Amino acid sequence: MNDTDIPVSQRLSRTTSSLPPCCLVVHPKDKSLVIVGTYKLHEGDSREGTIEIYKVDLKDKSLKLAADYAAGSAILDLKIHPKNSDLIFTCHSTGEVKIWRIDIGDLTLKEQDHHQIVEKTTLLTSMAFSPNSDEEIALTATDGSVSTLCYGSGRHSITQMHTTHDLECWIGAYGQVGDLRNVLFTGGDDGRLIAHDLRSSMHIWSTNYNHHDAGVTSILCPSETWNANKNNHLWTGSYDDCLRIFDLRVMDSRAPSLIEGYLPRVIQKKNLGGGVWRLLPSLLPNDDRVLSCCMYDGARIVEVNDSGFEVSRYFKGDHESMCYAGDWSTDGEFVVTSSFYDKVIQVWSPDEVSSQ
């Protein structure tokens, strides 16, 4: 299928945010709530951020701002705890993680805790929740550092990975199956994909520019609910506009593992037309579709097939700047995407094709 043949998804609605949206999630217990983290750079390098809560009308899918809260600084990543949907975690331009409690009934939001991870002049860029502990997250930063935070019960500890990226570290993702649950994968502006051993904080291997032609911006690991029958496949996105599948090689269907220094190989590579900033799997059972936010060229839905993947839907609409954020509703009825400088948020049908 040529890019010109890719069906365009039907847009259901659009709105604009108050400040530039950097990240968003659809609430897992109430799909009518879209929670957006914003990032605004002012003169003098001060950065402002808010948490904006939008309400989706489930009949016509229109979006309206329902509440907004000052976050104290700009937000680069925002996620809801996978086991406790009352907790929202945010990564900030001041090097800290904040934990918020949301009441989805009256849409109140209160800060519960915060942890300083790196220097206040360093930006935290992403977070990931551990599959091994309900009180551990991995964090990446613009100084190239990678760390894990263990929190809860009035105590916390921060562990730094020994291997850092030479430039900004943009993304981190825990392995999800078998021995890969002891591995943290990270990607950075230095074009490297690094596999860290969480038991020793040492690196297992690190790729180079023979694998990616530019910075690594997204990582998607197989799990028990996504691409489970191909647990040797690791997906990455890059500033070079390409989505890649890596074969991790040293795998066993019951206990996948890695060998130190034994680099994976690329088995599929496709240019998606824009920098592949985020890869977000569908939340439906037995559905291996992935939403890809493609920066300056909107977003796409990618489907797993026998040979690897193919693009099945394309949507851009009024996204005229960087499409950094997106998410699926829990029932797969719609997806939401946003673009940064123009502050556009759009709701799409992942199944219906536009008639225009």
Q: What is the CATH number of the domain that holds 193?
A: 2.130.10.10
How far is C-alpha 209 from the chain's CA centre?
Answer: 23
Please check whether residue 54 lies inside any domain of the structure: yes
List the domain range (segments joined by +) for residue 43.
9-114+314-356
pLDDT tops 80 at residue 254: no
Instruction: Note the pLDDT tens digit of each residue in 73-116.
Output: 999 999 999 999 999 999 999 999 999 999 999 999 999 999 99
254-259 contact pairs (CB < 8 A, 24+): 254/178, 255/178, 255/179, 256/175, 256/177, 256/178, 256/179, 256/180, 256/231, 256/232, 257/178, 257/179, 257/180, 258/179, 258/180, 258/183, 258/195, 258/204, 258/205, 259/204
Asked if 95 and 220 sit in the same domain, the reply is no
Distance CA(89)–CA(105), nearest Å, equals 19
Confidence at 306, pLDDT banded by 50, 70, 90: confident
The answer to whether residues 267 and 137 belong to one domain is yes
Provide the CA 164 distance to its chain's centre, in angstroms.
20
Q: Given a cut of 80, is residue 140 above it in pLDDT?
A: yes
In a domain, 334, yes or no: yes
- Same-domain status, 60 and 178: no
Q: What proportion of the chain, given as a percentage, has pLDDT over 90?
A: 85
pLDDT confidence of residue 1: 45
Q: What is the mean pLDDT of residues 224-236?
A: 91
d(CA 176, CA 144): 23
Q: What does pTM read for this prediction?
A: 0.95
Q: DSSP states of 64-88 as a string? A: EEEEEEE-SS-EEEEEE-SS-TTEE
What average pLDDT does the segment 158-164 reach?
Answer: 97
Give the per-residue pLDDT at 4: 62
pLDDT for 113 equals 95
* Sheet architecture: strand order including 146-152: 124-129, 136-141, 146-152, 155-160
Report the number of distinct structural domains present in the chain. Answer: 2
In a domain, 280, yes or no: no
| pLDDT tens figures, 26-42 | 999 999 999 999 999 99
